[in-house]
Amino acid sequence: MKARVTVMLKDGVLDPQGEAVRHALGALGFSGVTGVRQGKVIELDLAPGTERDEVERMCEALLANTVIERYEIEMG
């Protein structure tokens, strides 16, 4: 089984990497981009029977800094 964890900065947290991407896109002529938020995707190969709550514990312990980041889990 696989799990996909998407980690993004929480709303209101400054995203300098996202701002750099937005600026670079503007410099390349893509003027319609008004904001960019950059995050990360982590794919986990899980042993059969691994429950969602265990993946949540992984996120809380290591995969996301829950003070400034939020995460979403897709199991499948």
Condensed to tens digits (0 to 9), the pLDDT of residues 41-72 reads 999 999 999 999 999 999 999 999 999 999 99
- Dist. CA 72–CA 56, nearest whole Å: 9
Q: Tokens 């003070």 — which residue?
A: 67
Contact in structure between 37 and 15 (CB atoms under 8 Å): yes
Of residues 2, 7, 14, the one with CA closest to residue 64: 7
**Residue 22 pLDDT:** 97
What proportion of the chain, given as a percentage, has pLDDT over 70? Answer: 100
What proportion of the chain, given as a percentage, has pLDDT over 90? Answer: 100
Sequence ranges of the domains in the chain: 2-75
Whole-model pTM over 0.85: yes
Q: Which listed CATH number (3.30.360.10, 3.30.1280.10, 3.40.50.1970, 3.40.50.11860) goes with 2-75?
A: 3.30.1280.10
